[in-house]
Structure 1
Amino acid sequence: MWPFADPDRYRSYTRPLEEIGKGHLLSPRNLTEAQNRAELIKIDGILVFNDPRDWALDIQIILDLLLSEEGYLGSISPKNGDDSLDNRGYHQHEQPKIWFSNPDLSWAAAYHIPRLGQGSFKRALFGLWTSISQKDAHKVKILHKQYGKPSDRMFQYGENMLLWYRAQLLHAPSINPVEAKQSTHNKTAGLVEGVLGQPLKHIYMVGDNPESDVLGANSIRSKNGVGWHSVLVRTGVYESGTPAHTPNAIVDNVWDAVQWSIEDVKTATSRNAGSEGALGEKIAAPESRLSSIRHGGSELAAHALAFPARGEWTIGID
C-alpha cells in the first residue's frame, strides 16, 4: 500500500498486480468453475504500513477484497448482504483481514499544517465500507487489527525493548531481543532488577501528538511495574492550546523535555503509571549532563537512554 523508495529490496518476495485486461482481474460475476477461480489472484491478508498516496485506488482494491469470495480478487461473495447471516453476511466467506500499523489522524511534516495520516485513510475506508454494507441502523463490522501508538501492545513492546537495551548499557543479565519483544512479566523480571538490585522505575515518553504519544503513555499498565510519564513538545502536531490528553509536562522541544525528565528524576516526583498528571514546566538541568544531546534525532535518543541515574530511569523519544 505504499510506493517504497527502494522497490528492489522487496522484489524478491512481492509482485505488482496484473494489468487489467490480461484475464487475471476480470472474471465472471458468479465464479462456479474451477478454471475461473484458478485465474484469479488470491490475497490472504491486507497490511497497511503507511498512508497511501493514491487513496482511491487502494480503497477500491481493499473493498474488492472485503467483498470477495475467500480473497480471490475479482470475485464477489454471494453471502454479502444476507440478513440471515451474522454481520449481514459480510466477512463470512474467508475474506482477508486488515492490519493497520498506525492510527494517527495527522502527522507533522515540513509543511506548516499537519498532513493526513494513516488514521485518516482508515476512517475514509471505514466510511465507504459503512455506506456499502450497512442497512438501516444495522452496522456491519470490518475485521481488522490496529497496531501502533497509542495501543497498549505498542507501548509494552517499547518498554520491553528499553529494558533490554538498558541491560546492555549497564551490563546486566538479560534476555535476547527476540524474547524481549514477546516477553511477559516473568520473562522480563531479570531485566527490571537491573544492576545492583536497582529496578527501572521511570520511563519518559517524549512526543508531539497528544492522541498517540500522550494517551499511550498515560494509559499503559506496565507489566513490569515501571512508571510511565508523558512529555508533550510543541514541535509537531501539537503547538499550543489545551491538549486532548493531559501530559505530565508541556515543553518547547526535545532538548527541554530531556531537561525536565532529568530534573523530575532528581526530585523524585512520584506519579502513578497511566494516570493523567498535572501540567509541568520547564526546569533547567545541569548543562554538563546534556552537552552531547543538544541536537535531536537518533543521536539524542541513544544518548538519552544512556543516562542511568543509578539505573532507575530511561527516556523514550518519538
Structure 2
Amino acid sequence: MLFRRVCCKNTFLRKLTVGRQYSTQARPYGICLDIDGVLIKGNHVIPETKQALRFLNGDNALGKKIPFILLTNGGGVSESAKAHQLSRLFEVPISSSQIVLSHSPVRSLVSRYRDAQILVVGGVGQLCRQVAIEYGFKNVVTPTDIFAWNPSIWPFSKLNDEHLREAKEVDFSREPIEAIMMFNDSRDWGRDLQIMLDVLRSKDGYIGTIADDTELASHQMPLYFTNPDFETTGKTLKYELFGKPETPTYRYAETCLENQAAKLFKDADQRSMKHIYAVGDNPAADIAGANAHNWTSILVRTGVFQGKDNDLKFPADYVAQHVFEAVQWMFDREERL
C-alpha cells in the first residue's frame, strides 16, 4: 500500500475524538519502535514513552493490544538483559522476544557455524561471548583469547590478570578460526583490528600463517558486521552486514512481530503482518530502512531529527512530535471504519 509522505503540525490534528468510530475486528498490523531518540534520550525516558507503550498494550479506545517490538542498532548484551533493563525503566513488561538488537539476526548463522570456531569481537568483557553461546554457537573465541595466547600480536596493549582470567586456552596455530563476527564496538580498537587483519590474511584461519594473493582472491574468511562501522580502501573486502537499514534485520524483525501477533490472536489469518509501522528519529537508518522494506515510516523529533518539515533525503510517511503521537496516528488510520 502506498502512502503520501506528509508532515504534521505542532498541534496533533489526528486526535482520537469523541464519536469517531473504530473497527472492532482484529486487523493484522504491528509497529517497530527504535529505542534511542524515540523512547529514551541519554539516560532519561522521553516523557511520552510510557503512555505510548501502555497504549500499545491495550490502554486505547478499543482495549486492543497491538503487536510491537523494539529495534535498535545497539547491542553488546543479551536480548533478555535488555528486556529486563527496559521493563524496569519503562514500568511496562517487555519480553526478550520483543527485542531486536544489532546482532540478533546473527542467530540465523548458527546452523552454519554451530560447531565451528568463530571469533566474536566487541563489547565489554565476556558479554558478547556469552551472547553468542546463548544463541547456540558452541566454540566461541575472542580477541582476548588470542592476545593471551600471543601478546606480541599487539605489543601496545598490556596483558593483565583480567585478560588471563577471561582467556580461553587455545593453540590458534593448530585450531583454525572459520568466521569473524563483530557484535559490538571494540574496547581496544588497535588490538582487535590487528587481530582481525591477521585472521583475514591467514591461510585457512590458522593464525601465524599468511595466505598468498591467489589464495586470498579465491577465498576470504567469512566476515560479519552488525553495524556499518568501516570504510575500506585497497582490496575489496567481502562481508555481510546486519543492523538498520539492512535487509536481514528487517526480515528478522518482521518474524518477531509475527510471533508477537501469534501470541495475541488465535486466528491464524491475523498472525501475518499486512501493515508494519516503524518509528525512528534517524532518517538515514530508521526511515531509510523502513521505506526500503515497504513499511510505513514515522519520523519523530525527539532525537537526531529536529527539522521543521520532513527530511529531504529520506522522507517519512509521517512526521510526529513524539512516539505517543506516532502510535495514535497509526491506530487512527488502521482502526477507523
> TM-score by structure 1 length?
0.51
| Gap regions ≥5 residues in structure 1 | 27-36, 80-84, 103-118, 135-139, 174-192, 222-227, 269-318
Q: Check whether the contact 1:230–1:247 (CA below 8 A) recurs between aligned residues.
A: yes
User: Relative to 1, partners in 2 of residues 1:165 and 1:3: Cα closer, same or farther, differing over 3 Å?
Assistant: closer
Answer yes or no: is 1:260 the counterpart of 2:333: no
1:288-303 superposed matches below 5 A: none
Q: Give the drift of 1:200.
A: 4.5
User: Relative to 1, partners in 2 of residues 1:167 and 1:20: Cα closer, same or farther, differing over 3 Å?
Assistant: closer
Q: Give the drift of 1:63.
A: 1.6
1:103-142 superposed matches below 5 A: 119=228, 121-123=229-231, 126=232, 130=233, 134=234, 140-142=235-237
Answer yes or no: is 1:64 the counterpart of 2:198: yes
Answer yes or no: is 1:99 the counterpart of 2:175: no
Deviations 1:239-288 (A, max 9, x none): 326523110111122112112212222457xxxxxxxxxxxxxxxxxxxx
Q: Check whether the contact 1:68–1:95 (CA below 8 A) recurs between aligned residues.
A: no
Q: Following the alignment from structure 2 to structure 1, what is the Cα–Cα distance between the partners of residues 251 and 150?
A: 47
Secondary structure at the aligned position of 1:232 is classed as: strand
User: Relative to 1, partners in 2 of residues 1:17 and 1:160: Cα closer, same or farther, differing over 3 Å?
Assistant: closer
The match for 2:270 among 153, 171, 194 is: 194
Answer yes or no: is 1:17 the counterpart of 2:145: yes
Higher RCO, 1 or 2 (CA under 8 Å, sep at least 6)? 2
Q: Give the drift of 1:153.
A: 2.8
1:37-48 superposed matches below 5 A: 39=173, 42-48=176-182
**Alignment-mate amino acid for residue 240 of structure 1:** G
Secondary structure at the aligned position of 2:296 is classed as: strand
The equivalent of 2:122 in structure 1 is 2
**Alignment-mate amino acid for residue 238 of structure 1:** F
Secondary structure at the aligned position of 1:231 is classed as: strand
The equivalent of 2:80 in structure 1 is none
The equivalent of 1:172 in structure 2 is 267
Q: Check whether the contact 2:123–2:184 (CA below 8 A) recurs between aligned residues.
A: no
Deviations 1:131-181 (A, max 9, x none): xxx3xxxxx3211111222223322222232123212201223xxxxxxxx
Q: Among the aligned pairs, what percent are the same residue?
A: 30
Q: Following the alignment from structure 1 to structure 2, what is the Cα–Cα distance between the partners of residues 6 and 38?
A: 19
Q: Check whether the contact 2:173–2:208 (CA below 8 A) recurs between aligned residues.
A: no
Q: Check whether the contact 1:2–1:53 (CA below 8 A) recurs between aligned residues.
A: yes
Deviations 1:267-314 (A, max 9, x none): 57xxxxxxxxxxxxxxxxxxxxxxxxxxxxxxxxxxxxxxxxxxxxxx
The equivalent of 1:49 in structure 2 is 183
Computing the radius of gyration from Cα coordinates, the structure with the larger value is 1
Q: Following the alignment from structure 2 to structure 1, what is the Cα–Cα distance between the partners of residues 187 and 172?
A: 31
The match for 1:147 among 212, 217, 242 is: 242
Q: Following the alignment from structure 1 to structure 2, what is the Cα–Cα distance between the partners of residues 17 and 207?
A: 38
Q: Check whether the contact 2:146–2:172 (CA below 8 A) recurs between aligned residues.
A: no
Q: Following the alignment from structure 1 to structure 2, what is the Cα–Cα distance between the partners of residues 229 and 62?
A: 38
Length, aligned pairs only: 191
